[in-house]
């Protein structure tokens, strides 16, 4: 088990790998270096983060998470060669971790190495079927139209197509097999009928597929001029205004998109993600995120507050992460785990105890909820109550030595509080046995 876990839960998305007891203060050089690396990365001191991670590698050269974190920092510096090498090493060491593959995808996409990106996304599809939409986009970009059509047919056979995929489908229908989209035909069609919205949409995507971003932007502006009521124009305009760092126009377009009843939810979600990243660089815009959440409330299948919480959690902004997760669906176990991790890290033991106790009724066999309830009560000096939770929960710990060790440590704390020497000796022996495995 890597030493890194003591702090890793605060910065990972894959919450199934989180072990609650590993939220302790760093006690050795390795953990100190890793924690320093995370802190430096959070404030964009990537050079210092890399130095700290390289020190970690001296002790654990085969630790995939260290290589992954190095890749993240190199990518932030746009040092693509080193980033690719680091992510590849992480993948080689732990091929079942999807986020390591995502790192490679980010490198290839940013460097426009689309063929390499396709190989990675084809792998990512096995983790998340929704990645097939990314695959379609890449196939269109690289003009592999047969593969794009096959992928679209597969998506359509399993559900409803998003507006984006429908547009790709229409482009494929309007061109001969294997040829580029007929931009000239669309240009002529717009001149002859400037009020036909779909022609603009097709042309914007045709230009985007061919990496003609300037022409795509001009087409979106023309659509906005000819059809001022067109919400679809702003789907493209958001991105272009963000790229131009035009805060006012980007915000206006963002509002048009999220308020529109004509735009598919998945497109709104993508636009939200684009604007959210923009807002983190311009914190005064975060209020616009708050004001727009209500437009997502009626969409089934996505808890926007939770997704925002996850976003800020992974940006190490635990204040905003807590704010949004507390407003999310309380019955969502992923949101519950996130929130309890934050309470633990911030030593908000009363909140942690109350939340975990309520959630035990919803998930009575989830061992870590009993752990959090016990730890919260131990810190509140409610030792008898903590003991009850520990005794109820430890039987649910299966094949998880770290969580079992966490329970033992809380039993020992509880025993000290209750002056129960026999209990302390029992669980100290059990803890020692776990440590020797």
258 within 8 A of 292, measured Cβ to Cβ: yes
At 15, which CATH number?
A: 1.25.40.10
Task: Determine, yes or no, domain membership for 57.
Answer: yes
Task: Determine, yes or no, domain membership for 351.
Answer: yes
- Domain range spanning residue 25? 1-126
Alpha-carbon gap, residue 353 to 129, rounded angstroms: 37
Nearest Cα residue to 235 out of 219, 213, 250, 257: 257
Last residue of a domain, one of 126, 156, 180: 126
- How open is the CA angle 268-342-275, to the nearest 5 degrees? 20
Task: Determine, yes or no, domain membership for 298.
Answer: no
Q: Is the pTM of this model over 0.85?
A: no
Per-residue pLDDT of the chain (437 residues; tens, 9 = 90+): 333 443 343 344 333 444 444 444 444 788 888 888 888 888 888 899 999 998 889 888 999 999 999 999 999 988 989 999 999 999 999 888 888 898 899 998 888 888 888 998 888 888 888 888 888 888 888 888 888 888 887 777 676 777 788 888 777 776 644 455 478 888 888 888 888 888 888 888 888 877 788 888 899 999 999 988 888 889 889 989 998 999 999 999 999 998 888 787 778 888 898 899 899 889 899 999 888 888 876 555 568 888 888 888 888 888 999 999 998 876 788 889 999 999 999 999 999 999 999 999 989 999 999 999 999 999 999 999 999 999 999 999 988 899 999 999 999 999 999 999 999 999 999 999 988 87
CB-neighbour burial class of residue 317 (10 A; exposed 0-12, middle 13-18, buried 19+): middle
Task: Determine, yes or no, domain membership for 52.
Answer: yes
Predicted pLDDT of residue 8:
43
DSSP of 218-257, one letter per residue? HHHHHHHHH-TT-SHHHHHHHHHHHHTT-HHHHHHHHHHH
Does residue 301 come out as left (phi exceeding 0), alpha (psi in the -120 to 50 range) or beta? left
Last residue of a domain, one of 126, 152, 180: 126
Task: Determine, yes or no, domain membership for 204.
Answer: no
Number of domains in the chain: 2
Last residue of a domain, one of 126, 156, 175: 126
In the chain the first and final C-alpha atoms are separated, in Å, by 11
Task: Determine, yes or no, domain membership for 227.
Answer: no
At 380, which CATH number?
A: 1.25.40
CB-neighbour burial class of residue 352 (10 A; exposed 0-12, middle 13-18, buried 19+): buried
Alpha-carbon gap, residue 167 to 379, rounded angstroms: 57
Residue with tokens 């998340």: 128
Task: Determine, yes or no, domain membership for 156.
Answer: no
Task: Determine, yes or no, domain membership for 307.
Answer: no
């Amino acid at each position: 088990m890597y030493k890194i876990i003591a702090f890793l839960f605060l910065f990972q998305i894959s919450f199934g790998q989180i072990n609650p007891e590993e939220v302790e203060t760093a006690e050795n050089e390795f953990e100190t270096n890793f924690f320093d690396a995370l802190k430096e990365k959070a404030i964009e001191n990537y050079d210092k983060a890399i130095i700290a991670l390289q020190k970690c590698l001296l002790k654990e050269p085969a630790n995939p998470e260290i290589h992954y974190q190095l890749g993240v920092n190199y990518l932030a510096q746009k040092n693509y060669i080193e980033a690719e090498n680091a992510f590849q090493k992480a993948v080689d060491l732990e091929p079942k971790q999807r986020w390591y593959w995502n790192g490679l995808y980010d490198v290839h996409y940013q460097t426009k190495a689309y063929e390499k990106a396709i190989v990675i996304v084809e792998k990512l599809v096995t983790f998340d079927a929704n990645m097939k939409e990314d695959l379609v986009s890449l196939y269109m970009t690289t003009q592999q139209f047969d593969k794009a059509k096959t992928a679209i047919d597969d998506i359509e056979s399993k559900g409803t197509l998003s507006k984006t995929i429908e547009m790709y489908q229409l482009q494929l229908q309007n061109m001969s097999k294997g040829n580029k989209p007929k931009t000239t035909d669309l240009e002529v069609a717009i001149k002859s009928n400037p009020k036909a919205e779909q022609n603009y949409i097709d042309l914007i995507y045709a230009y985007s597929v061919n990496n003609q971003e300037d022409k795509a932007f001009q087409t979106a502006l023309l659509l906005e001029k000819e059809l001022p009521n067109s919400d679809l124009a702003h789907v493209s305009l958001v991105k272009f205004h963000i790229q131009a760092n035009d805060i006012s126009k980007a915000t206006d377009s963002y509002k048009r998109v999220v308020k529109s009843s004509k735009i598919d939810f998945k497109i709104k979600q993508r636009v939200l993600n684009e604007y959210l990243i923009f807002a983190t660089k311009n914190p005064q815009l975060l209020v616009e995120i708050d004001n727009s959440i209500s437009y997502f409330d009626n969409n089934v299948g996505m808890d926007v507050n939770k997704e925002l919480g996850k976003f800020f959690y992974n940006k190490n902004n635990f204040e905003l992460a807590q704010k949004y997760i507390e407003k999310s669906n309380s019955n969502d176990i992923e949101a519950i785990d996130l929130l309890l991790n934050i309470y633990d890290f911030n030593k908000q033991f009363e909140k942690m105890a109350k939340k975990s106790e309520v959630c035990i009724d919803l998930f009575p066999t989830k061992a870590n909820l009993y752990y959090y309830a016990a730890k919260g009560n131990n810190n509140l000096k409610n030792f008898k109550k903590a003991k009850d939770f520990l005794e109820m929960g430890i039987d649910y710990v299966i094949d998880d030595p770290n969580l079992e060790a966490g329970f033992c440590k809380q039993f020992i704390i509880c025993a000290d509080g209750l002056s129960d020497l026999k209990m302390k000796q029992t669980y100290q022996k059990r803890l020692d046995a776990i440590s020797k495995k």
